[in-house]
Chains A and B, each alone.
Chain A
Amino acid sequence: MNRIDMEFDLVVIGGGTGGPMAAVKAKEKNPNLKVLLIDKAHVKRSGAISMGMDGLNNAVIPGHATPEQYVKEITIANDGIVDQEAVMAYAANSFDMIQELDRWGVKFEKDETGDYAVRKVHHLGSYVLPMPEGHHMKKILYRQLKRARVEITNRVVVTRLLTGAKGEVTGVMGFDCRTADFYVIRCKAAVITTGAAGRIGLPASGYLMGTYENPTNSGDGHAMAYHAGAALANLECFQINPLIKDYNGPACAYVTGPFGGYTANAKGERFIECDYWSGQMMLEFYRELQSGNGPVFLKLDHLAEETIGEIEHILHTNERPSRGRFHEKRGNDYRKQMIEMHISEIGFCSGHSASGIWTNARGETSVPGLYAAGDCASVPHNYMLGAFVYGRICGYNAAEYCGSTAAAAIDESAVAAERARVFAPLERSEGLTPFQIEYKTRRLVNDYLQPPKITHKYEIGLRRFDEVREDAAAMVATNPHELMRAMEAYSIIDCAEMAARSSMFRAESRWGLYHYCVDHPERDDANWFCHTLLSKGGDGQMAMSKKPVEPYIVPIDEEERDAYQRLRVERKAEAA
């Protein structure tokens, strides 16, 4: 438990997707800047794209789509609650980022003329660009980190940020998950790129780490931002995904859709017009699961052998390559039967939905010197390419901020308090294990928070979370690894409470299944056409507020406005 003091200009927390990009771009902006990339895993294989990615889900490429069309699509897909300027900042930089990744050696699918082979998956426009050889993504990022001379610290779990007199970032604290050394890192600015909060709910399999997201993404960034005074936006807009049942990974309709695959009910019939993951799509999926036509499947068995071979190559070598061995053990063959699907546990992930640490079009949070990018930040439907684009935006802006800011003194009383909090479980010899605390929290999340949302259930859930929070004060860790799980358990409890409080605040239904409230079943634009913000109140408790939706820069026609509300395949009445 030695104390290790370090000093940098900028610390980037999380080395998965947006983090490496932010670090590289900060160095590019100012090569003299001292930049640290810190990760609780190893940057070589950390984050959501640990094994690469099979495609870009939101490529805005000239000739196929315009930034305005994309902004419109995401505005409609997200039921109007978007900061269009922030979505536009992504869309306008999307193609430039694709070209840069191309120069770095990422291989995108191109047609015979050399143009990017863009496919249609969204309801309105075409934004999907396959990367059949996308398994090399992390290697490419690592090479750029080395070239840019970014310093890297692996296996250090960042737990809290330090702030100064004006509430600004002054440092970062954490501990080594192997040695338990305590790190105090003085810095002028920080970028949070910790990914989704993917470990709030419990997978239906009961296996704690069988989550959709990389389980390292336990909401640590959401929790540290909250405790540093940052606002978090629209947390009631949960992430719930349609996944391979039990395996709990993508099936995946984005890859198979352009080849002719689709989501079907037990009769093999299409029931949704579009497989793009929106709240409304998930609601139709949920309804079909609950109906006599359920369960729901991915249907590929009608496709030609060579098509299925290509699909197998992409799906079983990228992103979640162990899908192949799961299917093998189950006797699933894309040629012979449909693949059973289910819906995931809940999480926070702006990559697919719209909730996270509030950021504007410059990647700034509400805390001076604190930036956030990727799945943990609030720019909706951002996916991997959004994490890259916002990583770059944060890297540039944080570098600029560092240039005009002096390093502040470290608040030693805050350091002492955090050190005592972090190491308490190691000093106990009796108590509850981190596994027990985490399992119970996540089981309660499933019992009380999984939509449809019911106010009374949420009230009970909050009371139970309080009990678990009290119990957590008796957590015991017998080694630094278990200490990491104990600190993650605290992040999970924080996120569970945030999910509940945000959901209870928005007294309407919106975003399909993501915020389907039984007590308020209708969308209420008169009162709730706004963002919701959660932050730490003066009393140290979670406080909620409304934030008006920023004026649109791309107008939405009345007719298009409800396009995502009409996803169910219409069936004509049959004559009796």
Chain B
Amino acid sequence: MSIATTLTQVPVKVHEDKCIAEKGCTVCVDVCPLDVLAIDLVKKKAFMQFDECWYCLPCETDCPTGAVEVSIPYLLR
């Protein structure tokens, strides 16, 4: 398959010590309008899967443990 994977620094950072996805929490994944967050099924932590962030902040605001931190994407920072 002739498709490359290009690395990029994503704007949403999940502090894994605070993330409680292993307890079944999916709040950040649920509220993201662009559906770019997901739960890593091995680590049982949330992470940003797609670099398509509108820096709108529901994931950070609604996280019950303050584990999500959104930065302005580098290209427009």
Residues of A whose CB lies within 8 Å of any CB of B are: 40-42, 44-47, 50-51, 155, 177-178, 203, 205-211, 214-216, 246-248, 320-322, 325-326, 329-330, 429-430, 433, 476, 478, 481, 484-485
Whether B66 sits at the interface, judged by CB under 8 Å, is no
In the A-B complex, the 8 residue pairs with the closest CB atoms: A205-B76, A45-B58, A207-B75, A41-B33, A45-B31, A246-B76, A322-B55, A209-B52
B3 near A433 (CB under 8 angstroms)? Answer: yes
Instruction: List chain A residues, Cβ under 8 A from B52.
Output: 208-209, 215, 485
- On whether the beta carbons of A177 and B33 are closer than 8 Å, the reply is no
Residue of B nearest to A482 (CB): B50
Q: How many angstroms between the C-alpha atoms of A207 and B76 in the bound complex?
A: 7
Please name the residue on chain B nearest to A205 by beta carbon.
B76
Q: Is B65 an interface residue (CB 8 A)?
A: no
- Which A residues are in CB contact (< 8 Å) with B35? 40-41, 155, 177-178, 481, 484
Evaluate contact between B34 and A41: CB separation under 8 angstroms: yes
| Chain A residue contacts of B46, Cβ below 8 A | none
Contact status A320-B77, CB under 8 Å: no
Q: List 21 A-B contacts (CB under 8 A).
A: A40-B35, A41-B32, A44-B30, A45-B32, A45-B33, A51-B57, A178-B35, A203-B76, A205-B76, A209-B34, A209-B73, A210-B75, A214-B54, A216-B33, A216-B34, A247-B72, A320-B56, A325-B71, A430-B1, A430-B2, A485-B52
What residues on B are CB-neighbors of A321 within 8 Å?
Answer: 57, 61
Known: A41-B33, A247-B76. 5 other contacts (CB 8 A): A41-B35, A44-B30, A203-B76, A207-B76, A214-B54
A211: which B residues are within 8 A, CB to CB? Answer: 54
Which B12-42 residues sit within 8 Å CB-CB of chain A? Answer: 30-35
Interface centre among A45, A177, A320, A330 (most CB of B within 10 A): A45
Distance in Å from the Cβ of A52 to the closest Cβ of chain B?
10
Q: Is B53 an interface residue (CB 8 A)?
A: yes
Greatest chain A CB density within 10 A among B1, B61, B72 is at B72
> Quick check: B57 and A329 within 8 Å, CB to CB?
no
B50, B56, B58, B75: most-surrounded residue (chain A CB, <10 A) = B56
- Asked if B72 contacts A329 (CB within 8 A), the reply is yes
Residues in chain B near residue A205, CB distance under 8 A: 75-76
Which B residues touch A208, using CB under 8 A?
52
Taking the complex as formed, is B48 at the interface, i.e. its CB lies under 8 A from any CB of chain A? no
Across the interface, name the chain A residue whose C-beta is closest to B2: A430
Residues on B with C-beta less than 8 A from A178 are: 35
CB of B72, distance to nearest CB on chain A (Å)? 5
Rounded to whole angstroms, the CA-CA distance of A42 and B36 in the bound complex is: 12
Residue of A nearest to B1 (CB): A429
Q: Name the residue on B nearest A244 (C-beta).
A: B76
**Is B67 on the interface with A (CB-CB < 8 A)?**
no
Asked if B75 and A206 make an inter-chain contact with CB atoms under 8 angstroms apart, the answer reads yes
CA–CA, A43 and B70, complex, Å? 21
Q: Which residues of B contact A478 (CB under 8 A)?
A: 3
Q: Are B58 and A209 in contact (CB under 8 A)?
A: no
Chain B minimum-CB-distance residue to A319: B56
Q: How far is the CB of A196 from chain B (nearest CB, A)?
A: 13
Report the minimal beta-carbon distance from B8 to chain A, rounded to whole angstroms: 11
Contact A214 B56 (CB under 8 A): yes
Query: Would you call B76 and A322 a contact (CB within 8 A)?
Result: no
Contact among A51, A215, A326 with B58 in the assembled complex (CB-CB below 8 Å): A51
* Chain A hits for B34, CB < 8 A: 41, 209, 215-216
Residues of chain A with a CB closer than 8 A to B3's CB: 430, 433, 476, 478
Of the residues B50, B53, B56, B76, contact of A50 by C-beta under 8 Å: B56
Contacts of B57 in A (CB 8 A): 51, 321-322
Enumerate chain B residues within 8 angstroms of A484, measured Cβ to Cβ: 35
- Kindly provide the distance from the CB of B5 to the nearest chain A CB, expressed in whole angstroms: 11
Q: Which of B2, B49, B61, B72 contacts A325 (CB 8 A)?
A: B72
Q: How far does the alpha carbon of A537 sit from the alpha carbon of B75 in the complex, in Å?
A: 41
Question: Given A42-B30, A209-B53, is A329 in contact with B77 using a C-beta cutoff of 8 Å?
Answer: yes
Most-contacted residue by chain A among B34, B55, B75 (CB, 10 A): B55
In angstroms, Cα B49 to Cα A330, docked, is 27
Q: Is the CB of B53 within 8 A of A46?
A: no
A485 to B36, CA, bound (A): 12
Please, which residues of chain A bring their CB within 8 A of the CB of B49? 481
Complex-state Cα separation, A321 to B61, whole angstroms: 10
Residue of B nearest to A247 (CB): B76
Check if B70 sits within 8 Å of A322, measured CB to CB: yes
With both beta carbons as reference points, the residue of chain B lying nearest to A321 in the complex is identified as B57
**Docked CA distance A430–B30 (Å):** 31
Known interface pairs A50-B33, A215-B34, A216-B33. Does A210 touch B70 (Cβ–Cβ under 8 Å)? no
Give Cα distance in the complex from A208 to B70, angstroms.
17
A320: B residues at CB distance < 8 A: 56
- Complex-state Cα separation, A476 to B1, whole angstroms: 11
Q: Are A210 and B58 in contact (CB under 8 A)?
A: no
CB-CB under 8 A from A247, the residues of chain B are: 72, 76
Cα-based distance from A215 to B50 in the complex (angstroms): 14
Closest partner residue, chain B, to A320 (CB atom): B56
Whole-angstrom CA separation of A47 from B58 in the bound complex: 12
Give chain B nearest CB distance to A441 CB in angstroms.
Answer: 16
Of all chain B residues, the one with the shortest Cβ separation from A203 is: B76
CA distance A208 to B32 in the complex (A): 17
Task: State whether A45 and B76 are in contact (beta carbons under 8 Å apart), knowing that A216-B34, A322-B70 are contacts in the complex.
Answer: no
- Chain A residue with Cβ nearest B30: A42
Q: Could you say which residues of chain A place their CB within 8 Å of the CB of B62?
A: 45
List residues of chain B with CB within 8 A of the CB of A47. Answer: 33
Residue of B nearest to A330 (CB): B77
Neighbouring A residues of B33 by C-beta, 8 Å: 41-42, 45-47, 50, 214-216
Give the residue of B54, B71, B72, B77 whose beta carbon is less than 8 angstroms from that of A215: B54
A230 to B70, CA, bound (A): 40
**Residue from the set B32, B34, B61, B76 with the largest chain A CB neighbour count within 10 Å:** B76
